[in-house]
Amino acid sequence: CGYWSRRGLWTDPEHVVVAPGAEPLLLALLASGPGGDVLLPRPCAAWYAPLVRLVNRRAHHAPVPAECGGLPDPFALLEIVRRIRTEGGVPRVLLLSVADDPTGTVAPPEMLHEVCEAAVAEGLLIVSDETWRDTVHHPHGTVLLSPAEMSPENVIVLSDLGGAFTPAGWPAAMARFPATERGVELRGRVLSLLTAVRSGLPASITAAAEYALGEPEPVRGR
């Protein structure tokens, strides 16, 4: 929780879930979530769409703007939401990445604000993959903000510690849920699903994750 608090997101332990990797955590979230269709940016991380299909949900891709990757162009997002509804679908979730993997870009705050505003207006739950937010970015490029700073009631933050903190062979990920009635309910369902399939962290990985997230000097230097 201190990890997020140091980044401007006050967090209570009761609003966090951990799992052995971002993939099982996102899968549990999609399986436990509000149902309906999922919107993804194009391009996006290769593992997003297969997980959407695995829980029998439809994935729709919206093109990214010229300025960056990781999130859809706001006008394209609105157009695709309207098209989905016209075709009888129910758009419910937007999955985005502010520090994007395939494009290597960081979303400018003003563009992120437009996308979040459009998504919330359309009733979408935003899942923000922030796995790569702590990697090195261009020092004069842009300021990295989380959608949870803009719309805390409507955003779930997902972070795989393998992005910057733990070795790839030691899978650990965490999700921060909104401090709302809906957020508490969704967290409970996700936790129940992960518990049912025994998808917990081994003690050795838990200890390593706790150490890394405390961000001592050796970790900050790395």
**At 222, is the pLDDT very low, low, confident or very high (cuts 50, 70, 90)?**
low
In this prediction, residue 10 carries a pLDDT of: 67
In this prediction, residue 214 carries a pLDDT of: 63
In this prediction, residue 42 carries a pLDDT of: 94
Predicted confidence (pLDDT) at residue 20 exceeds the cutoff of 80: yes
Q: Is the pTM of the predicted complex or chain greater than 0.85? A: yes
CB 147 within 8 A of CB 155: yes
In this prediction, residue 8 carries a pLDDT of: 65
In this prediction, residue 126 carries a pLDDT of: 97
**At 219, is the pLDDT very low, low, confident or very high (cuts 50, 70, 90)?**
low
Query: Higher model confidence: residue 143 or residue 121?
Result: 121
Compute the distance between CA of residue 78 and CA of residue 81 in angstroms, rounded to an integer. Answer: 5
Q: Which of 107, 171, 154, 162 is nearest to 131 (CA)?
A: 162
Q: Is 2-215 CATH 3.40.640.10?
A: yes
51-55, 116-120, 131-135, 200-204 — which is least confidently predicted? 200-204
Structure tokens at 104: 């290597």
In this prediction, residue 165 carries a pLDDT of: 66
Predicted confidence (pLDDT) at residue 118 exceeds the cutoff of 70: yes
Domain boundaries, the chain: 2-215
In this prediction, residue 215 carries a pLDDT of: 62
Predicted confidence (pLDDT) at residue 78 exceeds the cutoff of 60: yes
Compute the distance between CA of residue 184 and CA of residue 32 in angstroms, rounded to an integer. Answer: 12
Q: What is the DSSP string of 126-146?
A: EEEE-TTTTS---TTT-----
Compute the distance between CA of residue 171 and CA of residue 32 in angstroms, rounded to an integer. Answer: 21
In this prediction, residue 203 carries a pLDDT of: 76
Predicted confidence (pLDDT) at residue 33 exceeds the cutoff of 90: no
